[in-house]
Structure 1
């Protein structure tokens, strides 16, 4: 038979006795059979154990054929096999427990890109905080980390002085980013914090870093940061008892900047000033908020200098932004999202930033502070549809592999890349992808390598608040169904008395091979197979809110763990394998 691998091995355990017999079938899901024969049989003489051994061999051979006929036929045309090798010895990185983060921005309704005005009432200044769907959506994460900021944060003043006017942003094309200076009234800040408390959100606030700057040659801004207004605002926040997890200084002012730029030396001095302000105002608080910066695009030289000048303890988190797909108007966004080589291009950013932090020996950690994929508000029916989950989940997996502690998605609501619909707050597909990640993927990241087809992206973490691991498989191919196997990729023993070579299912212990094991699978697909659909199916059932605006429950499929994982074209699968023996997850 062509599908039978001619590999039979007898491992002798002593005088005439058979310790273990291994039969491997190429196409069978039962890729490993093992059998120990009592050494006592060996002591009975040569003929009987040889006869018994032959009988067992014949039995296993025939059983293998039956297994192939029942469930393990070779992949059909348009199918492929692949293996995700997971090293569960030690974690290669550890993320924050609240790794998933989303942003809220300042853009007024008049913000338009390429003739499309996609922000509506999604600003921190006008968002409907009484909407039950919005509250439920944030509350489901408990907590969801929210980063408050964006391009206009460096044009915001804080209305802490009742004697001073507090006026909103006004459209003016001659101004940076097309708007005048705006103001955050303290009444609105009170309302926002009431919402954050109800939603159990964790807040990162982006401060205006341009106060006091003067223009320099070459387009840079110089002079020290005027922190007076920010300091008054922070003090007001503390006096009101509002909990802020972190204060971030500036938005996209690093490197070549967007709209404006500040040199690394000056920026470092300003961060040190912010650190002193926070230490002073929070001096009686045990858990002081984090200091984050610069919230800009990665520039190796600038970031390296910035890290050096903020050591040893002025900067807790270095934040960078990702819009690697190009402009929202670009017609090739989907092609890039589904191109594994293009997705791999962002690895260098994570790797290089990780290298800088390690070489400098700093305690500063890295976050993605804002990531919308396609800049200028994204693209309707691309960055707010099913196809964007391929990019988004791949980014979560890739960034966590390189010690990114948190990943903030632009945006929770607003633009064409919101996790929620801007007008109705109905979840877009990426909301469900984010929530599934949050519930299934723990903080410990495991080394994972997929062999087979390049169209499958594979990541694995220790399971969140559960035993075993969770594997994420992303199929970028629209034509190929992949039969994926999960195996160990380490040399630790799997709990067997005798050594067994690593195979597709050797994460299942002897007892679990005897008593059939199951795993939990969550298959995500687009409604009607339309990648541009804003409806997502979980295991064939559409995900939608109930009549009360509650987020649906996620019911997994229970699958025989000895079978391969079927990853259909253009689908995403989370797989929780509770019996995977990973020392890193204990």
Structure 2
């Protein structure tokens, strides 16, 4: 008996110590639901399918497997299911090798061979080939899954290398012309054509001067106008698919002229190289995450001042470059970076955000070997299902380790709030208000002798509709944590339940936990939470 009592006090001491080790902090959020500050595209979430062969390697590992445009197993059931879960997932076909791709169509005078190792070639590879049989197979997948397609065209064709990565000469458009014409003849719908990959500014591996690039864009736009005369809708034209360079991007808008480029696409790898041992520290550092906001802000200003007809897209972003960080980019911890990026980019009027990659490398949303979703896949799917186009301003009074973003809810009334807790020891108690001082977390005592519960809530909150009932006074929570509290786990928990494919390989339903509207809102350390307030009146979302 004495032993049992002693054990009880030891356990009590351990439990009390663990509680004391966690800090509690208050945060107050004010959401302005009267107006939106920005708007995304309907298909904001985007993922890339790259061209890298299986023998693309970094840091003594080769994580691409067979995941490229050319060799991806299009018949794998997990692949189709993963795309279909979004209903209309935007896919960008492109990447570093796209400017070395020939299309086997028309009067192609050059042999069309697959990529091979070549020390004299860009990125150590030879020219590659897209056979039209493969293009047909890809489009069958796109049609079956409802994918929205952006295709990156070879922008180096016909040019010659002069020095230090600089390429000169007019673009030879003949192969691209024949490829686009074939695409139209087959009735394939392409949402947008993108011109070149990382050739802007100083370029990555190769660069083209802005005057020449702008001239070639005008030429490509005329080809699109001509070929799509009797085919609707006409695709958008995107460029340059490179890292933001203020002078170069602004000159491109000036040289190409009004309404030629529909969107400026830029790339982001703000975590550094994939072999950086500080990747996790960077992901969990709010100061580091904030640095990229200057790029979003400056690009938005460049467009406003020099090309208001265009919009901003993140055409490619994988966090860490050189195939991503092993055991980081494919694990739970990466969702802190990824969801923060989605929230931040949207605030600066970014219309589309393309994740590198759908599959391939360490940063794939799907595992390159098994096709099983990694944690970021579910983060992307939750965003797609919950966050609407309208971006709302959130004023946060609290720790910088609590990241907050709010949108109009997707295809329903109300507001969806995203909370990202970067702290490893602080639980935040969150008080949410709107600009009219209407509290979502209610503290008012209710005199049941004089007023009904429903009547008091109606007076405290601007509800959607005029027939509020007691069962409607709830919020929906989607709490994301890693399995076994391991940040580098490849298994994500939603409200404590592991997210896994069904026995048939279907993506599981992402169901919330309902909370009483009057219950406290909190978020545990190193976790993520989407909160939907379905009855909150949002004049700015109408």
Q: Same fold (TM over 0.5)?
A: yes
Tell me which residue corresponds to 2:428.
482
2-structure distance, mates of 1:419, 1:166:
31
Match of 2:121 among 161, 175, 189: 175
Is the 2:108–2:175 Cα contact (8 Å) retained in structure 1?
Answer: no
Q: Following TM superposition, by how much is the alpha carbon of 1:83 offset from its aligned partner in structure 2, in angstroms?
A: 1.5
1-structure distance, mates of 2:429, 2:396:
12
Is the 2:439–2:460 Cα contact (8 Å) retained in structure 1?
Answer: no
Consecutive aligned runs of 4 or more in structure 1 exceeding 4 Å deviation: 490-494, 510-516
SS in 1 for 2:476: strand
Is the 1:369–1:407 Cα contact (8 Å) retained in structure 2?
Answer: yes
Tell me which residue corresponds to 1:117.
62
Tell me which residue corresponds to 2:159.
213
Match of 1:433 among 379, 384, 390: 379
Alignment of 1:508 onto 2:461: yes
Tell me which residue corresponds to 1:102.
47
Tell me which residue corresponds to 2:450.
none
2-structure distance, mates of 1:253, 1:163:
24
Tell me which residue corresponds to 2:357.
411
Q: Deviations over 1:155-208 (max 9, x none)?
A: 000001487632100112332111000110111001110111111100000000
Please report the TM-score for the alignment, with normalisation by the length of structure 1.
0.83
Match of 2:72 among 127, 139, 159: 127
Tell me which residue corresponds to 1:519.
475
Tell me which residue corresponds to 1:571.
527
2-structure distance, mates of 1:548, 1:256:
48
**Counterparts in 2 of 1:227-246, with a 5 A limit?**
227-246=173-192
Is the 1:535–1:543 Cα contact (8 Å) retained in structure 2?
Answer: yes
Q: Deviations over 1:209-233 (max 9, x none)?
A: 0011123455421111111101000
Match of 2:302 among 332, 340, 356: 356
**Counterparts in 2 of 1:527-566, with a 5 A limit?**
527-566=483-522
SS in 2 for 1:301: helix
Q: Following TM superposition, by how much is the alpha carbon of 1:484 offset from its aligned partner in structure 2, in angstroms?
A: 1.1
Is the 1:488–1:506 Cα contact (8 Å) retained in structure 2?
Answer: no
Is the 2:153–2:193 Cα contact (8 Å) retained in structure 1?
Answer: yes
2-structure distance, mates of 1:201, 1:179:
29
2-structure distance, mates of 1:421, 1:551:
14
Q: Deviations over 1:252-308 (max 9, x none)?
A: 000110001111111111111110000000011232000000000001111111112
Q: Following TM superposition, by how much is the alpha carbon of 1:561 offset from its aligned partner in structure 2, in angstroms?
A: 1.3
Mind listing any 5+ residue stretches in structure 2 that lack a counterpart? 1-19, 441-457
Alignment of 1:345 onto 2:301: no
Is the 2:402–2:422 Cα contact (8 Å) retained in structure 1?
Answer: yes
RMSD (Å) for aligned C-alpha atoms: 2.1
SS in 2 for 1:318: strand
SS in 1 for 2:479: strand
Is the 1:487–1:507 Cα contact (8 Å) retained in structure 2?
Answer: no
Is the 1:507–1:579 Cα contact (8 Å) retained in structure 2?
Answer: no
**Counterparts in 2 of 1:52-451, with a 5 A limit?**
78-161=23-106, 165-217=111-163, 219-451=165-397
Aligned pair count reads 503
Is the 1:155–1:180 Cα contact (8 Å) retained in structure 2?
Answer: yes
Is the 2:432–2:439 Cα contact (8 Å) retained in structure 1?
Answer: no
2-structure distance, mates of 1:255, 1:506:
57
Match of 1:582 among 529, 538, 541: 538
Is the 2:184–2:231 Cα contact (8 Å) retained in structure 1?
Answer: no
Is the 1:411–1:418 Cα contact (8 Å) retained in structure 2?
Answer: yes
2-structure distance, mates of 1:106, 1:476:
34
SS in 1 for 2:208: coil
Q: Following TM superposition, by how much is the alpha carbon of 1:154 offset from its aligned partner in structure 2, in angstroms?
A: 0.3
Is the 2:242–2:267 Cα contact (8 Å) retained in structure 1?
Answer: yes
SS in 2 for 1:477: coil
2-structure distance, mates of 1:229, 1:558:
56
Q: Following TM superposition, by how much is the alpha carbon of 1:562 offset from its aligned partner in structure 2, in angstroms?
A: 1.9
1-structure distance, mates of 2:472, 2:160:
70
2-structure distance, mates of 1:359, 1:491:
36
SS in 1 for 2:138: helix
Higher gyration radius (CA): 1
Q: Deviations over 1:373-421 (max 9, x none)?
A: 1000011210010000000000000000000000000000000000000
Please report the TM-score for the alignment, with normalisation by the length of structure 2.
0.90
Q: Following TM superposition, by how much is the alpha carbon of 1:580 offset from its aligned partner in structure 2, in angstroms?
A: 1.4
Is the 1:311–1:362 Cα contact (8 Å) retained in structure 2?
Answer: no
Q: Following TM superposition, by how much is the alpha carbon of 1:310 offset from its aligned partner in structure 2, in angstroms?
A: 2.1
Alignment of 1:464 onto 2:417: no
Is the 2:22–2:427 Cα contact (8 Å) retained in structure 1?
Answer: no
Q: Following TM superposition, by how much is the alpha carbon of 1:146 offset from its aligned partner in structure 2, in angstroms?
A: 0.3
Mind listing any 5+ residue stretches in structure 1 that lack a counterpart? 1-74, 495-504
Q: Deviations over 1:39-65 (max 9, x none)?
A: xxxxxxxxxxxxxxxxxxxxxxxxxxx
